[in-house]
Amino acid sequence: VASELGVEAMSLYHHVPGGKDEMLDGVVAVVQAQFVDSTALGGDWHGDMSAFARAYRTTLSEHPNVVPIIASRPAVAYRTSTAVVEPLLASLESAGFSREDALRAVRVFSRWIIGFSLGEASSGVAQEAAGEFDEPFLVEVVSDIASAEDAVFEFGLVALLDGLGARLGT
């Protein structure tokens, strides 16, 4: 954006109405809109939470530098994703979750996905660091970090879904 305007990156904020905060909110809004557009919900809480998690992870992995900004602006992230969050809450409530549990489930999933995405963005660094360790345990851990992100994400997703299912009594 700065190069398009012919200015230095650090002075870019002076060229955006509302300054730095407004610009960062706009970046979050653009990424969240991509997430919303890529998320298809079907009305089944289990499938909907899975779709939500996978679509959000995919979107965040396409914009790893934006993940910390999203993490620091949760109100903007929620405001710009209501087209997904509202039907997701309805799906959870129609399955028998209380409104409070539905809200908390979406928040837990969102925070887990953001945190997972932050860690995933650094997995390349972990792979480079694998050669620095002599201890077999650390080599094993770092190698898993560097090679099994999809499996770890799916493991976590199943664990969270199973936990919600147990809370619901299914």
Please determine, for residue 160, whether its predicted confidence score (pLDDT) is greater than 70.
yes
Q: How confident is residue 161, by pLDDT bands cut at 50, 70 and 90?
A: very high
Which residues have a Cβ under 8 Å from the Cβ of 22 and sit 6 or more positions away?
16
Distance, CA of 131 to CA of 85 (rounded, Å)? 42
Distance, CA of 112 to CA of 124 (rounded, Å)? 20
pLDDT digits (tens, 9 = 90+) for 12-55: 666 666 778 888 898 899 999 999 999 999 999 999 999 999 99
Distance, CA of 139 to CA of 50 (rounded, Å)? 31
pLDDT digits (tens, 9 = 90+) for 121-145: 776 665 666 667 778 887 777 777 7
Distance, CA of 18 to CA of 53 (rounded, Å)? 32
Note the pTM of the prediction, 2 decimals: 0.83
Residue 49 near residue 102, CB atoms below 8 Å:
no
At residue 109, the pLDDT reads 97
Distance, CA of 57 to CA of 117 (rounded, Å)? 7
**Closest to 62 measured CA to CA, from 125, 120, 124, 146:** 120
Residue 169: helix, strand or coil by DSSP?
Answer: coil
At residue 130, the pLDDT reads 62
Q: How confident is residue 146, by pLDDT bands cut at 50, 70 and 90?
A: low
The larger pLDDT score, comparing residue 114 to residue 15, is at 114
At residue 125, the pLDDT reads 60
